[in-house]
Amino acid sequence: MNTINDSFLGGADNGVLRLITAGSVDDGKSTLIGRLLYDSKGVFADQLDAIARAKYKRVAGDGIDFSLLTDGLEAEREQGITIDVAYRYFSTPLRKFIIADAPGHEQYTRNMVTGASTADAAIILIDATRAADGNLLPQTKRHSTIARLLGIRHIVVAVNKMDLVDWDRAVFERIRLSYAELAGRLDLPDFHILPLSALNGDNVVSVSAHTPWYPGPPLLALLETLAVADDGRGLPLRLPVQWVLRHGGDRADDFRGYAGRLASGVLRVGDAVAVQPSGQQAIVSRVLRGGRDVDEAVAGDSVAVVLDRDVDVSRGDTLSHPGAQARTAREFEAELCWLDAQPLNPARRYLLKHGARLTSARIRAVHTQRDIHELREIANEGGTLAMNDIGTVSLQTREMLAVDGYHALPANGAFILIDEATHQTAAAGMLR
Lowest-confidence segment of 37-46, 157-166, 221-230 by average pLDDT: 37-46
- Tell me the one-letter amino acid at 282: A
Q: What's the rounded Cα separation, in Å, for the pair 38 and 44?
A: 9
How far is C-alpha 77 from the geometric centre of its chain's CA atoms? 25
**% of the chain beyond a pLDDT of 90:** 38
292 touches 304 (CB < 8 A): no
264-288 residue pLDDT tens: 899 999 999 999 999 999 999 999 9
Lowest-confidence segment of 83-97, 158-172, 378-392 by average pLDDT: 83-97
Write down the domain spans for the chain. Answer: 16-225, 238-320, 327-431
Report the alpha-carbon angle 131-188-181, nearest 5: 40
E strand or H helix that includes residue 183: helix 169-186
Domain 238-320 sits in CATH at 2.40.30.10
188, exposed or middle or buried, with CB in 10 Å at 0-12, 13-18, 19+?
middle
How far is C-alpha 220 from the geometric centre of its chain's CA atoms? 20
pTM: 0.77
Which of 170, 160, 154 is closest to 204 using CA atoms?
160
- What number is the average pLDDT over the span 339-350? 89
In order, the DSSP letters of 315-329 are: TT-EEE-TTSPPEEE
Positive or negative, the CA dihedral 83, 85, 91, 97 is: positive
344-to-39, 138, 166, 168 alpha-carbon distances in Å: 45, 23, 47, 46
pLDDT for the residue 7: 41
Who has greater pLDDT, 320 or 227? Answer: 320
33 touches 99 (CB < 8 A): yes
- Fold equal for 238-320 and 327-431: yes
- What number is the average pLDDT over the span 293-304? 90
pLDDT for the residue 300: 85
133-154 residue pLDDT tens: 989 988 888 888 888 888 888 9
- Tell me the one-letter amino acid at 39: D
Who has greater pLDDT, 349 or 109? Answer: 349
Instruction: Provide the 8-state DSSP code for 67.
Output: G
pLDDT for the residue 42: 55
Say which residues have a Cβ less than 8 Å from residue 185's Cβ, sequence separation at least 6: 375, 376
- What number is the average pLDDT over the span 14-33? 81
CATH class of 327-431: mainly beta
Fold of the 16-225 domain:
Rossmann fold (3.40.50)
Average pLDDT value over all residues in the chain: 82
pLDDT for the residue 256: 84
92-127 residue pLDDT tens: 888 888 888 776 556 666 677 777 777 889 999 999
Who has greater pLDDT, 86 or 276? Answer: 276
232 touches 298 (CB < 8 A): yes
368-383 residue pLDDT tens: 888 877 667 888 878 8
Q: From its phi and psi, is residue 59 left (phi > 0), alpha (psi between -120 and 50) or beta?
A: beta
